[in-house]
């Protein structure tokens, strides 16, 4: 048995490929990359010859199979970020933004209670079939950064991608795109960019102690139903305030399960800690468009806050008041 295991071990060591790649896929994907590159080079030459014109980008989106992908590559704006932004446009009642994107020409009879995010197929079809949607997308990249609503809503890291200098293929703008591509993962992963980090800072500002993890009684008596808590003030043994945070930038089927779970946790908290307040920080476009799940979610909490500046101030007042009890 030992010799057999050594042989198998030696096989993995001696025949290790280090990196997996499928040559057929590699060639196919390289063709796709070259197609995007050539499309952008042709566009660059046209802009250098005839100047920057919106119709060049409208033609790009209409005539080229990967026209949208090319535009996103040029600006560094991720496909998923565009989907999120389109959802925001669909639900937001902002006249300036709606006018810029011709919103009334491509959003009709939408169910505001349960709005689902559009997929790639839907977006591409609209780009081909609806000239107003196509013009609106081009306007977004040309003028989006000038809209106060977007300036207040989009993170600065994303807003900077809606720069007309990128559409002109200016060298500093291209370098900016490269840097943002490279640092995207680092930016997203920074603890300071996490909603829970802001909550911790707010609690610290109020000079309160907190713990994270399992509530003592739930851990002892309800191991199946219990769950870890984001913030327990002042501690797990004698909690006064129990906080759960859920910030969703997209929708998922798990939201229904999440809302049901919070209802179960509320019952357990009421049973074992009747004097404690169960608080939810619920925010993000993902909850905004799933209003059925949102209603079940907020029903589980004694009070609910968002990360809006007004709500942050209300939360500070809440902490000071509750901790004096």
What pTM does this model have?
0.79
Looking at the structure, do residues 176 and 241 belong to the same domain, yes or no? no
Compute CA 30 distance to the chain's CA centroid, rounded to the nearest angstrom.
29
Helix 195-205 / helix 309-322 crossing angle, nearest 10 deg: 40
Same domain flag for 133 and 230? no
Q: What residues does 277 pair with on adjacent strands?
A: 241
What is the tally of structural domains in the chain? 2
Highest mean pLDDT among 219-223, 277-281, 291-295: 277-281
pLDDT range class, residue 258, cuts 50, 70, 90: confident
Asked, for residue 15, whether it belongs to a domain, the answer is no
Angstrom CA distances, 82 to 72, 158, 283, 310, 322, stand at: 9, 10, 19, 27, 41
Q: Are residues 81 and 201 in the same domain?
A: no
pLDDT for 196-211, tens place per residue? 999 999 999 989 999 9
Domain residues for the domain of 264 are: 193-322
* Same domain assignment for residues 164 and 201: no
Query: For the CA atoms of 123, 127, 133, 134, what is the dihedral angle to 10 degrees?
Result: 130
pLDDT in tens, 127-147: 999 999 999 999 999 999 999
């Amino acid at each position: 048995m030992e010799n057999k295991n050594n042989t198998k071990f030696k096989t993995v060591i001696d025949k290790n490929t280090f990196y997996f790649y499928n040559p057929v896929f590699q060639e196919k994907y390289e063709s796709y990359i070259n197609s995007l590159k050539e499309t952008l080079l042709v566009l660059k030459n046209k802009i250098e010859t005839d100047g920057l014109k919106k119709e060049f980008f409208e033609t790009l989106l209409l005539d080229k199979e990967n026209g949208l992908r090319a535009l996103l590559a040029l600006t560094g704006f991720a496909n998923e970020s565009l989907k999120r932004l389109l959802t925001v446009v669909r639900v937001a009642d902002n006249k300036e933004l709606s006018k810029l994107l011709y919103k009334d020409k491509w959003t009709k009879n939408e169910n505001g209670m349960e709005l689902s995010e559009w997929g790639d197929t839907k977006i591409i079809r609209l780009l081909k079939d609806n000239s107003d949607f196509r013009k609106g997308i081009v306007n977004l990249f040309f003028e989006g950064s000038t809209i106060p609503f977007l300036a207040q809503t989009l993170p600065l890291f994303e807003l900077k991608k809606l720069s007309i200098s990128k559409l002109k293929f200016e060298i500093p703008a291209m370098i900016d795109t490269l840097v943002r591509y490279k640092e995207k993962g680092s930016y997203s992963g920074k603890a300071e960019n996490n909603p829970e980090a802001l909550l911790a800072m707010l609690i610290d500002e109020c000079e309160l102690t907190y713990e994270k993890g399992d509530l003592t009684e739930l851990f002892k008596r309800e191991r199946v139903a219990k769950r870890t808590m984001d913030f327990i003030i002042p501690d797990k043994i004698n909690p006064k305030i129990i906080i759960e945070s859920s910030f969703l930038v997209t929708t998922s089927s798990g939201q229904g399960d999440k809302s049901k779970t919070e209802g179960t946790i509320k019952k357990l908290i009421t049973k074992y800690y009747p004097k404690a307040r169960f608080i939810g920080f619920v925010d993000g476009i993902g909850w905004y468009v799933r209003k059925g799940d949102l209603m079940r979610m907020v029903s589980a909490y004694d009070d609910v806050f968002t990360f809006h500046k007004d709500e942050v101030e209300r939360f500070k007042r809440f902490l000071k008041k509750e901790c004096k009890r």
